[in-house]
Amino acid sequence: MEIRNIAIIAHVDHGKTTLVDKMIEAGNFTNERDRPTGELIMDNNDLERERGITIVSKNVSVTYKGTKINIIDTPGHADFGGEVERVLNMADGVCLLVDAFEGPMPQTRFVLGKALSMGLRPLVVINKVDKQNCTPDEVQEKVFDLMFELDATEEQLDFPTIYGSAKNGWMSEDWKKPQDNITPLLDRILAYFPPKTIEDGNTQMLITSLDFSSYVGRIAIGRLTRGNVKENQPVLLAKRDGTLEKHRIKEIFVFEGIERVKVSGVQAGDLCAVTGLEGFEIGDSICDVENPDPLPTIQLDEPTMSMLFTINDSPFFGKEGKFVTSRHIQERLFKELEKNLALRVIETDKADRWMVYGRGVLHLSVLIETMRREGYEIQVGQPQVIVKEIDGAKCEPVEELTIDLPEELSGTAVEAVTIRKGEMTNMEPKGGRMIIQFMIPSRGIIGLRSYLLTQTAGEAIMTHRYLEYQPMKGEIPGRQNGSLISLEQGSAIPYSLNNLQERGRFFIHPNEDIYEGQVIGENSRAGDLCVNVTKTKKLTNMRASGSDDKVRIAPPKVFSLEECLEYIQDDEYVEVTPKSFRIRKVLLKETDRKRSGKA
Ligand SMILES: Nc1nc2c(ncn2[C@@H]2O[C@H](COP(=O)(O)OP(=O)(O)OP(=O)(O)O)[C@@H](O)[C@H]2O)c(=O)[nH]1
Ligand SMILES: [Mg+2]
Q: From atom 30 of ligand 1, which residue's Cα is the shortest distance away?
A: 128
Mean pLDDT of 408-426: 95
pLDDT at res. 464: 87
Ligand 2 centre from 43 Cα, in Å?
7
Ligand 1 centre from 47 Cα, in Å?
16
The phi, psi pair for 443, rounded to 5°, reads: -50, -40
Ligand 2 centre from 75 Cα, in Å?
5
Ligand 1 centre from 579 Cα, in Å?
30
Judge if the beta carbon of residue 14 lies within 6 A of ligand 1.
yes
Rounded Cα gap, residues 57 and 83, in angstroms: 7
The phi, psi pair for 194, rounded to 5°, reads: -65, 150
Mean pLDDT of 557-561: 91
Mean pLDDT of 296-311: 90
Write out pLDDT tens, residues 231-241.
999 999 999 88
Interior angle at CA 473, CA 467 and CA 476, nearest 5: 110
Rounded Cα gap, residues 329 and 205, in angstroms: 35
- Ligand minimally distant from the alpha carbon of residue 76: 1
Listed residue (149, 125, 122) closest to 139, CA to CA? 125
pLDDT at res. 546: 45
Would you say how long the chain is, in residues?
Answer: 599
pLDDT at res. 15: 96
Q: Using the atom order of ligand 1, give the atom closest to the CA of residue 11.
A: 25
pTM for this predicted structure? 0.86
Judge if the beta carbon of residue 421 lies within 6 A of ligand 1.
no
Write out pLDDT tens, residues 353-395.
999 999 888 899 999 999 999 999 999 999 999 999 999 999 9
The phi, psi pair for 466, rounded to 5°, reads: -60, 135
Judge if the beta carbon of residue 420 lies within 6 A of ligand 1.
no
pLDDT at res. 545: 43
**First-residue to last-residue Cα distance in the chain:** 73
Rounded Cα gap, residues 69 and 251, in angstroms: 22
Q: By the 8 A CB rule, do 118 and 86 touch?
A: no
Q: Using the atom order of ligand 1, give the atom closest to the CA of residue 107.
A: 25
Q: By the 8 A CB rule, do 530 and 485 touch?
A: yes
Dihedral sign, Cα of residue 404, residue 410, residue 413, residue 417: positive
| The 3-state secondary structure of 155-198, one letter per residue | HHHCCCEEEEECCCCEEECCCCCCCCCCHHHHHHHHHHCCCCCC
Q: Using the atom order of ligand 1, give the atom closest to the CA of residue 39.
A: 29
Ligand 1 centre from 269 Cα, in Å?
30
Which of 110-119, 347-356, 426-435, 440-449 has the weakest average pLDDT? Answer: 426-435
Crossing angle (nearest 10°) for helices 410-419 and 448-455 = 150
Write out pLDDT tens, residues 130-156.
999 999 999 999 999 999 999 999 999
Rounded Cα gap, residues 553 and 500, in angstroms: 10
Ligand 2 centre from 73 Cα, in Å?
7
CB atoms within 10 A of CB 102: 20
Burial of residue 355 (number of CB atoms within 10 Å: 0-12, 13-18, 19+):
middle
